[in-house]
């Protein structure tokens, strides 16, 4: 048993072991969570005394006071990810028999509802597509690609012309771009841009190109296929730079603001509205499970709900 062993020491040892088995970007995310949220609150606890009561108090504190700038609580998803990291660390301690097996369950307040996702309605989507056609550049074409393939912003930034097969009308996703920040124990840290594999194994995928997207890409495709689609060069466009471009594009053309990820939500919703089955949509999005697609991306609109209710009339 781990008598008097501080949780801070154990989680840092566990983190170093995990480093060999996870992506560099994942390790950077873990270090940010550990040094930013976990150690300041749980570091001085004795490992042997960590239990569900400790975790419950930790969870509520993050929800109410988790922001490092003193601006209130963290987002529910951030808290869930943070608590899960602590749980995984404690489960490893149980496997090593440093602490006895014990329940580590926590509850979230009912008020912690999922935020409603952003989806363009059909009129907003029409206006956005029209603005892209009238102001077609490699960067604006990237917006169109997202609307009609559902790619994540990092995947679009990593997209090269060699990934696009116009002859067979297919796009291959095998990379993503992200800037990571690795935090150190002394409070310092460093950032760097990574071109790495996508979020999950299922994210390596082929996405068919629609008949309306192929002509646009064919018009813009250079003779040399080695460059990135958004930049046309050997250097990619960073995610934050492209997000800034997107926000400016919306403002310039008088389109209501929406997060870039809302384009991916819109793609999934339009696919379901058009009659696509959830399994197919899940694979197009690169999700590991169909349930993820159902829970996160597919949200029936009022008219769909009304149609569903009206179907009951057929049984009278």
What are the pLDDT digits (tens) for 188-228? Answer: 778 888 888 887 777 889 999 999 899 999 999 998 888 99
- DSSP code, position 160: B
Residue 286, pLDDT score: 86
Rg of the chain over all Cα atoms, to the nearest angstrom: 23
- The order of strands in the sheet holding 205-208 is 164-165, 170-173, 205-208
> Using an 8 Å Cβ cutoff, are 155 and 176 in contact?
yes
Q: What are the pLDDT tens digits along the chain (316 aa)?
A: 556 899 999 999 999 999 999 988 899 999 999 999 999 999 999 999 999 999 999 999 999 999 888 889 998 889 999 999 999 999 999 999 999 998 899 998 877 656 667 889 999 999 999 999 999 999 999 999 999 999 999 999 999 999 999 999 999 999 999 988 877 777 777 888 888 888 777 788 999 999 989 999 999 999 888 899 999 999 999 999 999 999 999 999 999 999 999 999 999 888 888 888 888 888 888 887 777 676 665 555 556 666 677 777 666 5
**CB neighbour burial string for 62-93, b if at least 16 within 10 angstroms, e if fewer:** bbeebeeeeeebbebebbbebbebbeebbebb
Q: Domains in the chain, please, with CATH?
A: 7-95 (1.10.150.130), 122-306 (1.10.443.10)
pTM for this one?
A: 0.79
Average pLDDT over all residues of the chain = 89
Partners of residue 46 on adjacent β-strands: 6
Residue 304, pLDDT score: 61
Residue 260, pLDDT score: 97
DSSP 298-313: ----HHHHHHHHHGGG
Cα dist from 174 to 195, 203, 288, whole Å: 10, 8, 15
User: Tokens in use for 191?
Assistant: 């950032």
């Amino acid at each position: 048993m781990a008598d008097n062993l501080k949780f801070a020491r154990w989680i840092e040892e566990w983190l170093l072991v995990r480093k060999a088995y996870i992506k560099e970007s994942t390790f950077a995310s873990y270090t940010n969570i550990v040094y930013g949220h976990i150690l300041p609150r749980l570091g001085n606890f004795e490992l042997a005394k960590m239990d569900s009561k400790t975790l419950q108090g930790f969870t509520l504190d993050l929800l109410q006071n988790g922001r490092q700038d003193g601006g209130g609580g963290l987002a529910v998803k951030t808290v869930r990810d943070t608590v899960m990291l602590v749980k995984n660390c404690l489960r490893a301690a149980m496997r090593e028999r440093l602490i006895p097996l014990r329940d580590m369950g926590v509850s979230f307040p009912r008020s912690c509802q999922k935020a409603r996702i952003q989806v363009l309605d059909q009129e907003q989507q029409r206006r956005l597509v029209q603005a892209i056609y009238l102001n077609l550049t490699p960067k604006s074409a990237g917006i169109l690609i997202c609307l009609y393939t559902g790619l994540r912003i990092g995947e679009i930034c990593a997209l090269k012309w060699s990934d696009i097969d116009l002859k067979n009308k297919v796009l291959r996703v095998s990379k993503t771009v992200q800037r990571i920040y690795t935090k150190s124990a002394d409070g310092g840290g460093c950032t760097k841009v990574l071109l790495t594999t996508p979020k999950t194994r299922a994210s390596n995928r082929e996405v068919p190109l629609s008949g309306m997207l192929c002509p646009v890409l064919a018009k813009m495709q250079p003779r040399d296929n080695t460059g990135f689609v958004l930049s046309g060069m050997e250097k990619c466009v960073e995610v934050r730079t492209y997000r800034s471009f997107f926000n400016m594009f919306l403002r310039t053309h008088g389109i209501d603001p929406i997060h870039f990820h809302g384009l991916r939500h819109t793609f999934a919703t339009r696919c379901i509205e058009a009659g696509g089955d959830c399994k197919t949509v899940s694979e197009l999005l690169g999700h590991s499970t169909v349930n993820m697609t159902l829970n996160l991306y597919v949200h029936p609109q009022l008219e769909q709900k009304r149609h569903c209710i009206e179907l009951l009339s057929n049984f009278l």
